[in-house]
Amino acid sequence: MLDPVRPITLSDIEAAQARIAATVVRTPLVRLDLGRDGPDIRLKLENLQPTNAYKIRGAANAVAMLSKEDKNRGVWTISAGNAGQGVAYAARAAGVPCKIVVIETAPQTKIDRMRALGADLVLAPFDVCWRALEEHAFPGMDGTLVHPFDDHNFIAGHGTMALEVVQDCPELTSVICAVGGGGLIAGVGSAIRAKAPHVKVLAAEPETAAPLSLSLAAGKAQAFKDWRASFVDGAGGRSVIQRMWERMSPVLDGDIVVTLDDTRRAMRLMAEKARVISEGAGALALAAALTGKAGDGPIVCVVSGGNVDLKTFAQLIDV
């Protein structure tokens, strides 16, 4: 039986911030120079975390809060790469065995890094992994599941970045996060609602996988029937899971769907203007901001990760 969904409180997030301070980096917030007539966009560079992605925030908090008994059983998670790296990193630091069910289309770079962190990997098709995410179970996994998004403590850890954002840019008008399972925006949105309720919290999804956009239009959790795999492997699910809908919908102001070409251009723009290497999901927020639908700013775009093979990155930005 799963614990009931409950709000992520400011005290949850502040406690997580203290708990993970020695593990995570307080990432910089940098202005993207788009000229005098361009929007005011700031980049929250979570690609600079030790695992090059924001997931380490939630993973470090969730692993730290496990009981001694649960740690002794070992931990496992399900991931396309970034959550797996975060959980493996936190588990290694705590001396806890770690297994990861990995989506078999995950980039080799992410697979190699999860193995390098000491995790045992089991590769499986996307559909099998998504079902495991919904069911919180996978054959042969008998340790403690650290769910990559449907986990209260995991989400509270992600909210810590919003505390940094509000402190570094008190004048911000909106914040944009990429959405896959929804843990990032649920955490960030919860912190923003508590600290700066006037700020808009916006989601970004790729056109090939945008179930949140459908869900917001319908007013209830929806599946995305035309889902297609793409280089945006760190975001865009097949559906919005009901438990995550309950977490996201109260803290969201809207959703912006972007094309894959928009995402490639955002990756290139960050590389040219700020020398930032982002993966596909890491560029979704900027792609959304550049549509103009988030206003003139200051807009904070969360660069959620930079785990991409450099050869692949060069090919993707050649647009």
Positions marked catalytic? 55, 304
d(CA 239, CA 25): 31
Identity of residue 190 = S
Q: Is 198 exposed, middle or buried (0-12, 13-18, 19+ CB in 10 A)?
A: exposed
Identity of residue 112 = D
Q: Is 245 exposed, middle or buried (0-12, 13-18, 19+ CB in 10 A)?
A: buried
> What is the token pair recorded at 39?
């929007």
d(CA 82, CA 280): 12
User: Measuring CA to CA, which residue among 8, 20, 70 is closest to residue 250?
Assistant: 8
The dihedral through the CA atoms of 288, 289, 293, 294 has a sign that is positive
